[in-house]
């Protein structure tokens, strides 16, 4: 009974925390730390970098592996930021990070849809549907870029355990495709993905997925040990 009460308490606290809309910081590293701490998962990809002729602007990019069209992100975002912008002589009127932000929006918006977000809850919602998040040091808002592009190839209707109602797709042998299928159904920032290798010789990649604040911590730790 105590275990049940404890689990219910965790769920209620989790819902309470989820309803808090925390605004973004102006510090790039604070924003990065908050994102990594909240979505503490192995399929969260993020890195910081500098752009500009003198590398005077610090930025960061975040995506969820498997939900995002990786080729599209590289060709239309990373190349634009790290190559085209760097080789372009910036206008003398660009004196603040907000001015630089507007230049980035103009460059990227020609190719893809963009929007702005200034809270972490909104940012997490965008990440969990496959969009790319760009952060700027000194700016308390994020640039959201439409890049959702999960793979449907190889996701087929199951031949065993068929259902009359509900989704018709099934898991396959590709690990990241399988985690993507789960994330498509559960768009929750508390869905944790932990990658481990098992097998002394095969070194097989295995992902443990659970809802933080809902799953029993003792059971999760036991599964990780096994």
Handedness of CA 176, 35, 191, 20 (dihedral sign): negative
Whether residue 169 is contained in a domain is answered as no
User: Could you give the CA distance from residue 161 to residue 79 in angstroms, rounded to a whole number?
Assistant: 45
**Residue 225 pLDDT greater than 70, yes or no:** yes
More confident residue, 212 or 6: 212
Residues 115 and 48 in one domain: yes
- β-strands 57-64, 44-51: how paired? antiparallel
Q: Residue 198: beta bridge partners?
A: 204
Tokens encoding 226: 């096994």
Q: In which domain, by residue range, is 219 found?
A: 175-225
- On average, the pLDDT of the chain sits at 79
Alpha-carbon dihedral of residues 49, 53, 57, 62, nearest 10 degrees?
Answer: -30
When pLDDT is cut at 50, 70 and 90, the band that residue 1 belongs to is low
Residues 101 and 186 in one domain: no
Indicate the number of domains in the chain: 2
Residues 133 and 70 in one domain: yes
pLDDT in tens, 48-105: 988 877 778 899 999 998 888 777 787 778 777 777 665 555 556 677 888 888 888 8
More confident residue, 132 or 6: 132
What lies within 8 Å, CB to CB, of 148 at 6+ separation is 67, 68, 69, 129, 130, 131
What's the pLDDT score for residue 165? 60
Q: Are 148 and 130 in contact (CB under 8 A)?
A: yes
**Residue 15 pLDDT greater than 50, yes or no:** no
What's the pLDDT score for residue 144? 93
Whether residue 17 is contained in a domain is answered as no
What lies within 8 Å, CB to CB, of 167 at 6+ separation is 185
User: Could you give the CA distance from residue 19 to residue 13 in angstroms, rounded to a whole number?
Assistant: 10
User: Could you give the CA distance from residue 140 to residue 146 in angstroms, rounded to a whole number?
Assistant: 20
Residues 61 and 133 in one domain: yes
Whether residue 15 is contained in a domain is answered as no
What's the pLDDT score for residue 138? 94
Q: For residue 212, report the phi and psi dihedrals to the nearest 5 degrees.
A: -65, 130
Span of 3-7, 95-99, 186-190 with lowest mean pLDDT: 3-7
**pLDDT > 90: percent of the chain:** 29
Whether residue 6 is contained in a domain is answered as no
When pLDDT is cut at 50, 70 and 90, the band that residue 24 belongs to is very high
What lies within 8 Å, CB to CB, of 190 at 6+ separation is 14, 18, 211, 212, 213, 214
Alpha-carbon dihedral of residues 14, 20, 25, 30, nearest 10 degrees?
Answer: -10
Residues 48 and 122 in one domain: yes
More confident residue, 94 or 212: 212
């Amino acid at each position: 009974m105590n275990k049940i009460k404890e689990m219910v308490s965790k769920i209620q606290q989790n819902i309470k925390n989820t309803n808090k809309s925390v605004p973004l910081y102006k510090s790039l590293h604070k924003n990065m730390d908050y994102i990594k701490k909240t979505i503490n998962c192995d399929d969260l990809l993020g890195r910081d970098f500098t752009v500009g002729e003198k590398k005077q602007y610090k930025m960061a990019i975040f995506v969820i592996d498997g939900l995002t069209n990786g080729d599209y992100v590289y060709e239309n975002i990373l190349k634009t930021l790290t190559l085209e912008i760097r080789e372009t002589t910036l206008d003398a009127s660009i004196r603040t990070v907000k001015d630089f932000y507007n230049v980035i929006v103009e460059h990227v918006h020609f190719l893809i849809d963009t929007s702005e977000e200034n809270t972490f809850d909104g940012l997490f919602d965008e990440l969990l549907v496959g969009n790319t998040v760009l952060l700027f040091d000194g700016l308390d808002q994020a640039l959201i870029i439409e890049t959702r592009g999960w793979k449907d190839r190889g996701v087929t209707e199951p031949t065993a355990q068929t259902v009359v109602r509900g989704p018709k797709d099934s898991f396959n042998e590709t690990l990241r495709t399988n985690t993507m299928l789960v994330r498509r159904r559960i768009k929750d920032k508390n869905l944790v993905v932990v990658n481990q290798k098992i097998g002394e010789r095969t070194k097989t990649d295995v992902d443990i997925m659970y809802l933080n604040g809902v799953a029993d911590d003792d059971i999760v730790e036991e599964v990780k040990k096994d």
